[in-house]
Structure 1
Amino acid sequence: MTELPIPFVDAPSPWDMQAEVFLLYGYSRPTGNYPPRSTFPDLEWESTYADPGVTGKFRGGLSTIMVVRYSETPVGAYDELIWLPGKFAVPLDNTEAIRMGRLYVSSKDAIYNGRKYWSLPKERGHFTFTRNPQAGSGTFPYSKVTVAPWDRPDEPCFAAEFSSTWFSRPIFPFNTNWFLDAMWMVHPPVPQSPDWREDGRVGTKKWWGLKPVIKGMAGVFRAKGGLPEERYGDGVGFPIVTPFSFGVWIPLATIECEAGKEIIAGGRR
């Protein structure tokens, strides 16, 4: 039987990209409890991706919300919301590494490639960026960002309200390479959707590691949750989290995502 063609742009790693980046940091205590279901997409939660007995216990540490507006990538422009709850144990090599939880994007090509080449648990979402009416050249551009699941566009699962500070102008150099291995990530295999040819959620069989690099001139903004009770997440499609009230804005960032490094028993391939 002739195999059907893949209905997505196939763009192997590495990727070099241009983007506007918003970073909100927090801290997750290593209490011994696994993160709640809303931390992961439903497809991943119901698989070994989120099974601590198979893919490692939660270790906590620095947590991050990333909102990214990509202007140049191998699959075109798209938007992305990432929740990084902290580090997890990597049972294959007895180390710890960051692991992505919720990861919404606006492009099915980005879903397909992110899953295929890095085992990133991407799913599709609706993004709305509300312009700051007082924004000008070099000043903070948005007053609010909302993200909703693709099948419920009128029910936001994430919202953040942004405002300027005295330090919003991007005059501070920023480079994640300064933080040593703080951005080293390892992801277990992701499950495959029965409708992957439609939704892009292809599955993988390998553990992949990567260390993305974000560089650019940065400013500082103030943030608060944009859902009722000033929450960032609704506790269903995005977890209820409490990041610090100041974030980092990089309007002209370069992002380098290296080719995935296969993680095998005893180390990296």
Structure 2
Amino acid sequence: MTTSSSTLSPTLFDEALAPWFCRGEVFLLYGYTMQSKSSYPPQSAFSNLEGASSYADPCVTGEFKGGLSSIAIIRYTDTPIGPYDELIWIPGKFTSPPNDNPSHRIGRMYVSSRDAVYNGRRNWNFPRQLAHFSFTPNPDETGTLTYTKVSVAPISNPDQPFFVADFTTTWITRPILSLNTLHSSRPMWFTTPPLPQSINWYEDGRIGTTRWCRVRPIIKGKMGLIRCKGGLEDGKFGDDLGFPDVHPFSLGMWLPDAEVAWRIGMRLVKKVGTKFVQKVGE
């Protein structure tokens, strides 16, 4: 039986300021874009709202530099606003302020909770929007891997997914390896431009912001390796509309019970010398 999630909250949002210390099941897939081939990501790499704004304009918010790309699927079991699901697409690095240093930037970000949309945009400039998630449990109850398929679809059409990933086990799927991104020699920082605001933000949660934001996610837990392939037609992960036609490596990482920390975002403040400083609730 497939389990699904896509929750709608009351009119008022459940506000929760950073930092967030969460737990959940995490799937991580990686790819790489050579800089010589790093033309700006396609239109499908951004939502219609962000794609039509300066968020996705290289002349305003920085050129695309390629490098490590990644997909993260997180089934949060414990957060300040309750459980929800998340799909993140990171195309690679973009030139970012204050010194045009390349930094990772999120292209697409879907969640199953409207409160998560609102808080993610408010706290960290995350370009979140609401979607319907389906997780297909492993039919082999004695197996290690909990899910064999993850599908993400529009709220308005949950039977037509724009992203599907199929997972199978490897010889080392059992989570016996340790991962702690806090100790990574090459930490992944997200530096995100100001967000545009939806006309219906009070309904969909997509509020706008006015300052750049920088944050480093921390993921900690025991992991195993999994094989992954696209579950759409022709083995694609994305339909190139709601999600780009990506080509991650066939091996990914799986953390069945991870600690995920989203700390207070640092805002770009020009009046103190054009640098990032920690600001709460802005």
TM-score using structure 1 length: 0.95
2:183 aligns with 178
2:133 aligns with 127
Q: Contact (CA 8 Å) 1:67, 1:81: kept in 2 or not?
A: yes
What percent identity do the matched residue pairs reach? 49
**1:180 Cα deviation after fit:** 3.3
1:102 aligns with 108
Which moved further from structure 2: 102-111 or 92-101? 92-101
Of the three residues 136, 145, 151, the one matched with 2:156 is 151
1:124-182, CA deviations, whole angstroms, 9 ceiling, x for partnerless residues?
Answer: 11001011101337x10111110002222221100011001110100000111232343
**1:96 Cα deviation after fit:** 1.4
2:216 aligns with 211
Q: Contact (CA 8 Å) 2:11, 2:203: kept in 1 or not?
A: no
Structure 1 stretches of 5 or more lacking a match?
A: none
CA RMSD of aligned residues (A): 1.4
Which moved further from structure 2: 123-132 or 6-15? 6-15
1:267 aligns with 275
SS at match of 1:117: helix
Q: Contact (CA 8 Å) 1:92, 1:264: kept in 2 or not?
A: no
2:206 aligns with 201
2:90 aligns with 84
Counterpart of 1:131 in structure 2: which amino acid? P
Partners of 2:38 and 2:112 lie apart in 1 by 34
Which moved further from structure 2: 145-154 or 194-203? 145-154
1:251 counterpart = 2:256: yes
**1:191 Cα deviation after fit:** 0.6
Q: Contact (CA 8 Å) 1:44, 1:121: kept in 2 or not?
A: yes
Partners of 1:99 and 1:63 lie apart in 2 by 10
Partners of 2:16 and 2:254 lie apart in 1 by 28
Counterpart of 1:76 in structure 2: which amino acid? G
**1:32 Cα deviation after fit:** 4.5
1:26 counterpart = 2:31: yes
Partners of 2:59 and 2:256 lie apart in 1 by 40
Structure 2 stretches of 5 or more lacking a match?
A: 1-9, 278-282
**1:98 Cα deviation after fit:** 0.6
Q: Contact (CA 8 Å) 1:192, 1:204: kept in 2 or not?
A: yes
Report the CA distance shift for 1:155/1:6 in structure 2 as closer, same or farther (over 3 A): closer
Counterpart of 2:258 in structure 1: which amino acid? A
**1:29 Cα deviation after fit:** 2.1
1:54 aligns with 60
2:4 aligns with none
1:41-77, CA deviations, whole angstroms, 9 ceiling, x for partnerless residues?
Answer: 1100000000000000001111101000000001100
**1:6 Cα deviation after fit:** 7.2
Of the three residues 68, 74, 96, the one matched with 1:68 is 74
Partners of 1:180 and 1:109 lie apart in 2 by 34
Partners of 2:131 and 2:18 lie apart in 1 by 23
Partners of 1:263 and 1:205 lie apart in 2 by 10
2:142 aligns with 136
1:114 counterpart = 2:102: no
Of the three residues 227, 231, 241, the one matched with 2:232 is 227
TM-score using structure 2 length: 0.91
Aligned positions, number: 264
Of the three residues 38, 42, 50, the one matched with 1:44 is 50
